[in-house]
Amino acid sequence: MGMKTVSPTWDNLIPLCLPQRLEQCSAHSKRLTNTNIIIIFRPPGRAGRGSRGSRISFLPRSAPSRRGRVGLGLQRPPAAAAAAAAEKAFGGGLAPAGRRRREASAFCVPRRFPSGAAAGTMAFRCQRDSYARELATTVLSCLPAEQQLERGGRPESLTGFHVLLADTVLFPEGGGQPDDRGFIDEVPVLRVIRRGPDACHFVRTALEPGRPVHLRLDWPRRFDHMQQHSGQHLITAVADLLFGLKTTSWELGKQRSVIELDAPELTPAQVVAIEQEVNEKIRARVPVSVKELEATDPEVEKVRSRGLPDDHAGPIRVVNIEGLDSNLCCGTHVCNLAELQVIKLLGVEKGKKNRTNLVFLAGGRVLQAVERSYGRERALTGRLKCGPEEHVEAVEKLQASTKLLQKNNLSLLRDLAVLTAQNFKNSPNPACLFVLHRKDGDSEFMNIVANEIGTEKTLLFLTVGDEKGAGLFLLAGPPEAVNTLGPRAAELLQGRGAGKPGRFQGKATKLSQRAEVLTLLRDFVHGQGAED
């Protein structure tokens, strides 16, 4: 096996991680995967011939490490200071041989190495370029995992794999912004979550570490998130500027977004003023930019922030709306407010802890809301037989008419219940069992019938609702009989019930089983007659 030596200067040192990255630093070797490489780091002022430096040796992927796994070896000669500086230049990504990463089936590489990213920051390609939709990258590791996903409105636990990539255009959730979706080659990415400085891509198919892959972003979903997130920054800044209203939290929802403001209420005039001002900023085409600051930079104190994650390290990412707002944020944003198109404030809702929730839509969501609203308007116009300006009045008239009809119907049902009971009582030989079903009845109808007939000697079985579906039932009669038969009737009707002495009523899911209950009651009545 041959040996190559590369001596880059300290200033243009490039982190070298995979064979394709090594290739950038050596024009002399065309088969780096089969070559040992030693890189000499010389600090400034010591680049002359014969100067000492730190040496990092890279084993080829085919060479096993001492622990039996493929890896990178890091050797430190006595020049400890230079070696430490070299490791810092690599962002802590290269681990000494005794501290290799313990991820099964993955070769030991830096945790991430985005080109141009500052060491220690969560600076993925999606953060450096919010508009990047595709990326050629490499699988670093693929580990079995279990992930909670929402399916059909319910949480569901799925088994799959957490995949780490050399870099990513898929944003892991953070800063109030949901995560992206996309594909690794043809494998769907179902979640992207942050683990310290890493982005874990959850997939259902295993991917081989070291494999080159093509990453594709679900752009419509991402751009929607960008519009809502940048819109939130703008609304927050304007609300603070105009009325001193501080944002305490926010939520980017699937249909609408909510900003929680530290105020017990907002007047309609304030809402209108905020909406007018944010849309004026959009029309002014104000630029939006992103920059990084060191934690010790005095400018950090001037930046709006709700705090950093506990595991944050390295430079701080700042999103700036020119002349209006600077805010710590890890999310993806538009490059100009003009791309928000429009913002609509839908109103306010009462929040928690004496705060107010301001509900808004931005960009494409406004257009979608208008489309849905217009569709409903057209449908109502067809059904109400009047123009949109008369819809409210027409609905109010219908509500009044419906209320009157319901009142009249209830009165008629009561009269019918009384007549039904009287007709039974006036028969020459009243039976010991009275059975009645009425599709359009209700619980009040059944109770009126039971009260009018009386239950000292007669066993009543009354039902209302759909004969083949669900409904209500009432069993009334002698207390001992009802106590015995009530639970059994509920079981036959696949329902539930409760009662008091002489009455047992409840809900049934299968009124089609009424015949079985009737057989039960007849057998009981006949048994009682035989005993008498």
Over residues 462-508, the pLDDT tens digits come to 999 998 899 999 999 999 899 989 999 999 999 999 888 889 999 99
Question: How far is residue 158 from each of residues 49, 145, 183, 341, 348, measured CA to CA in Å?
Answer: 59, 8, 18, 38, 37
The encoded tokens of residue 505 equal 């009523």
The encoded tokens of residue 316 equal 């701080």
Same CATH fold assignment for domains 223-369 and 416-531: no
Please name the CATH architecture into which domain 416-531 falls: Roll (3.10)
Q: Is the pLDDT of residue 186 over 80?
A: yes
Least confident of 45-59, 217-231, 300-314, 323-337: 45-59
pLDDT category at 453 given cuts 50, 70, 90 is confident
Under a CB-based contact definition with an 8 Å cutoff, are residues 169 and 215 in contact?
A: yes
The encoded tokens of residue 311 equal 């595991």
pLDDT at 386: 95
Sheet holding 316-321, edge to edge: 288-293, 316-321, 325-328
Phi first, then psi, for residue 140 (nearest 5°) are -90, -45
pTM exceeding the 0.85 threshold for the entire prediction: no
d(CA 503, CA 481): 10
509-527 pLDDT, tens digit per residue, is: 999 999 999 999 998 888 7
Under a CB-based contact definition with an 8 Å cutoff, are residues 490 and 472 in contact?
A: no
Q: Report, as an integer, the average pLDDT of 116-129.
A: 64
Domain boundaries, the chain: 3-99, 125-217, 223-369, 416-531
Q: What angle do CA 137, 4, 77 make, to 5 degrees?
A: 95
User: What's the CATH fold of domain 125-217?
Assistant: Elongation Factor Tu (Ef-tu); domain 3 (2.40.30)
- DSSP-derived 3-state class of residue 121: coil
The encoded tokens of residue 463 equal 């039902």
Under a CB-based contact definition with an 8 Å cutoff, are residues 443 and 434 in contact?
A: no
Q: Strands 459-465, 433-438: parallel, antiparallel or unpaired by DSSP?
A: parallel
pLDDT at 311: 54
- Quote the distance between the C-alpha of residue 340 and its chain's center: 22
Across-strand partners of 349?
357
142-167 pLDDT, tens digit per residue, is: 999 999 998 888 899 999 999 999 99
d(CA 88, CA 118): 11
Computed from CA positions of residues 167, 171, 173, 177, in that sequence, does the dihedral angle turn out positive or negative?
Answer: positive
65-115 pLDDT, tens digit per residue, is: 333 333 333 333 333 443 443 344 333 333 333 333 333 222 223 333 333
Least confident of 95-99, 225-229, 370-374: 95-99
Computed from CA positions of residues 227, 229, 232, 233, in that sequence, does the dihedral angle turn out positive or negative?
Answer: negative
The percent of residues in the chain predicted with pLDDT above 90, rounded, is: 57
Q: Is the pLDDT of residue 382 over 90?
A: yes
The percent of residues in the chain predicted with pLDDT above 70, rounded, is: 73
Of residues 60 and 232, the one with the higher pLDDT is 232
Residue 351 half-sphere exposure toward CB, CA atoms < 13 A: 23
Place of tokens 């603070």: 240
Q: What is the CATH number of domain 223-369?
A: 3.30.980.10
Residue 66 half-sphere exposure toward CB, CA atoms < 13 A: 7
pLDDT category at 117 given cuts 50, 70, 90 is very low
